[in-house]
Amino acid sequence: MKLIITDINNFNIPVEGEYKLINPQGDIHHCVGCFGCWVKTPGKCVIHDGYEGTGTDMGKCTELILISRCCYGSVSPFVKMVQDRAISYIHPDFVIRKGEMHHKRRYKNMITLSAYFYGEDITETEKETAINVLKANVENYDGLIGDVYFYKTLEELRGVTL
Please check whether residue 37 lies inside any domain of the structure: yes
Please check whether residue 87 lies inside any domain of the structure: yes
- Please, which pLDDT band fits residue 57 given cuts at 50, 70 and 90? very high
Please check whether residue 126 lies inside any domain of the structure: yes
The CATH number assigned to the domain holding 131 equals 3.40.50.360
* Cβ–Cβ < 8 Å for 93, 103: yes
Domain count, the chain: 1
- Please, which pLDDT band fits residue 26 given cuts at 50, 70 and 90? confident
Please check whether residue 117 lies inside any domain of the structure: yes
Domain that includes residue 144, residue range? 2-157
pLDDT at 59 over 90: yes
* Cβ–Cβ < 8 Å for 52, 86: no
Please check whether residue 162 lies inside any domain of the structure: no
Please check whether residue 105 lies inside any domain of the structure: yes
Interval 96-120: pLDDT, tens: 998 999 999 899 999 999 999 999 9
Query: What residues contact 51, with CB distance under 8 A and at least 6 apart?
Result: 22, 28, 29, 45, 81, 82, 85
What is the pLDDT, as a whole number, of residue 16?
Answer: 95
Please check whether residue 63 lies inside any domain of the structure: yes
Model's pTM, two decimal places? 0.95
**Percent over 90 (pLDDT), the chain:** 91
